[in-house]
Amino acid sequence: MKNSITKKKELARKRRTKAIRKKIFGTADMPRLVVFRSLKNISGQIINDETGVTLLSLSSLSREIELDKSKKKIEQSFEIGLKLGEKALEKGIKQVCFDRGGFLYHGRVKAFAEGARKAGLII
């Protein structure tokens, strides 16, 4: 059972997510790169909101990638962003709009975005 502080934090993040989603909309030319961060894992999806289709997704739980568990979570997030960026470029996606999903843009979310930029994605 969640305590009241956890519920308040979750509600605040959902409110921020709605506010961000009012402004950001993924199209075929520039899809939306969404980040979700949990306590142990991080995942990213590239979504075309016009058709409601997920074009590409990658997570720290994916079997496709080998993560070094001895590295810190920030370093793992950077690697996942890098791999997602490489896969996006293979599919012909060059530019995306970044949706931080209500999370603050620092730490693992920032590392994820920097990894995607280093791969060649324009955010």
CA distance 55 to 46: 6
- Give me the domain span that covers residue 28: 4-119
Q: Three-state DSSP class for 120? A: coil
Query: Model confidence over 99-113: pLDDT tens digits?
Result: 999 999 999 999 999
Domain tally, the chain: 1
Is residue 85 pLDDT above 90, yes or no? yes
CATH of the domain at 26: 3.30.420.100
pLDDT of residue 27: 86
Start-end of H helices in the chain: 4-23, 73-90, 108-119
Query: Model confidence over 17-66: pLDDT tens digits?
Result: 999 989 888 888 899 999 999 999 999 999 999 999 999 999 999 888 88
pTM: 0.89
